[in-house]
């Protein structure tokens, strides 16, 4: 998979050079290229933003450098869909991440300042928000999207590992424990020490449902809507 990211702060993307994403790059499962939006500016000072028409505070990223950047990248990443990080975008979740794994590649435009010129959305396939809060720019959201998608690609994690992640089937994860069995009077549930894998699996499912129902009733409702009540 080819991933291109357009940003005015290319130096911020060091987290993509460690951990799971780095392993995916080393295995040649993904290729990531960071593009500096200022390299596409036709302004002698490499300016990529301007004042808002109609007045108001803040600056807006201009059309020209973004359009030119996407057009150049498309010559290399021909099948890449275009994603804009934006507070007005659809909320990113595990199901949407799975959908993106079916793409051959994608190009992420990192929004900034007061946003981007509205006309940029004409060349975007998706607008994505990672939550109902405001960040300084789209760089952190872009890394969240990349990390979430990459770990779902075949060959990145051990086979079937992602299907047990929280949110994969609208359930949060079950409680996990490791050694020692007793730490300061806090004990590991006996069922997990029983060796009865069928009962352990049943306990884990029950706990996942219980935790989701208590902490995320919105997810629990989705779980029920997909037929989860038949598993309970």
Query: In sequence order, what are the beta bridge partners of 90?
Result: 128
User: Is 114 annotated in the active site?
Assistant: yes
What's the CA gap between 43 and 46, in Å, rounded? Answer: 5
Which of 197, 216, 206, 208 lies closest to 163, judged by CA?
Answer: 208
User: Is 165 annotated in the active site?
Assistant: yes
Specify the residue for token string 């959201």. Answer: 141
Which pair of tokens denotes residue 173? 């994860």
What's the CA gap between 167 and 64, in Å, rounded? Answer: 39
Instruction: Give, as one character, the DSSP assignment of residue 172.
Output: P
Q: Which residue is catalytic, options 87, 147, 173, 204?
A: 87
Q: Which residue is catalytic, options 114, 147, 173, 210?
A: 114
* Ordered alpha helix ranges (H), 1-118: 19-26, 63-74, 94-100
Q: Rounded to the nearest 10 degrees, what angle do helices 197-215 and 217-225 cross at?
A: 120
Give the C-alpha distances (Å, rounded to integers) separating 26 from 18, 32, 36.
Answer: 10, 11, 23
Instruction: Give, as one character, the DSSP assignment of residue 229.
Output: G
Which pair of tokens denotes residue 194? 């029983």
User: Is 216 annotated in the active site?
Assistant: no
Q: Which residue is catalytic, options 50, 147, 165, 173?
A: 165
The answer to whether the beta carbons of residues 213 and 172 sit under 8 Å apart is: no
Cite the active site residues.
Answer: 87, 114, 151, 165
């Amino acid at each position: 998979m080819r991933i291109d990211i357009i940003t005015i702060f290319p130096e911020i993307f060091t987290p993509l050079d460690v951990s799971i994403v780095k392993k995916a790059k080393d295995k040649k499962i993904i290729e990531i290229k960071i593009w500096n939006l200022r390299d596409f500016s036709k302004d002698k000072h490499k300016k990529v933003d301007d004042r808002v028409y109609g007045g108001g505070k803040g600056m807006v990223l201009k059309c020209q450098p973004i359009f030119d950047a996407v057009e150049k990248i498309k010559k290399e990443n021909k099948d890449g869909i275009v994603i804009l990080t934006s507070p007005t975008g659809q909320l990113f979740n595990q199901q949407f991440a799975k959908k993106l794994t079916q793409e051959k590649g994608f190009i992420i435009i990192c929004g900034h300042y007061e946003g981007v010129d509205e006309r940029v959305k004409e060349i975007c396939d998706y607008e994505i928000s990672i939550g109902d809060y405001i960040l300084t720019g789209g760089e952190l959201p872009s890394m969240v999207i990349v990390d979430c998608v990459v770990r779902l690609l075949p060959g990145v994690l051990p086979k079937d590992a992602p299907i047990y992640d929280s949110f994969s089937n609208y359930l949060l994860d079950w409680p996990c424990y490791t050694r020692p069995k007793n730490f300061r009077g806090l004990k590991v549930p006996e069922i997990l020490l029983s060796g009865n894998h069928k009962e352990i699996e049943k306990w884990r499912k029950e706990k996942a449902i219980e935790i989701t129902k208590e902490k995320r009733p919105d997810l629990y409702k989705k779980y029920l809507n997909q037929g989860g009540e038949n598993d309970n």
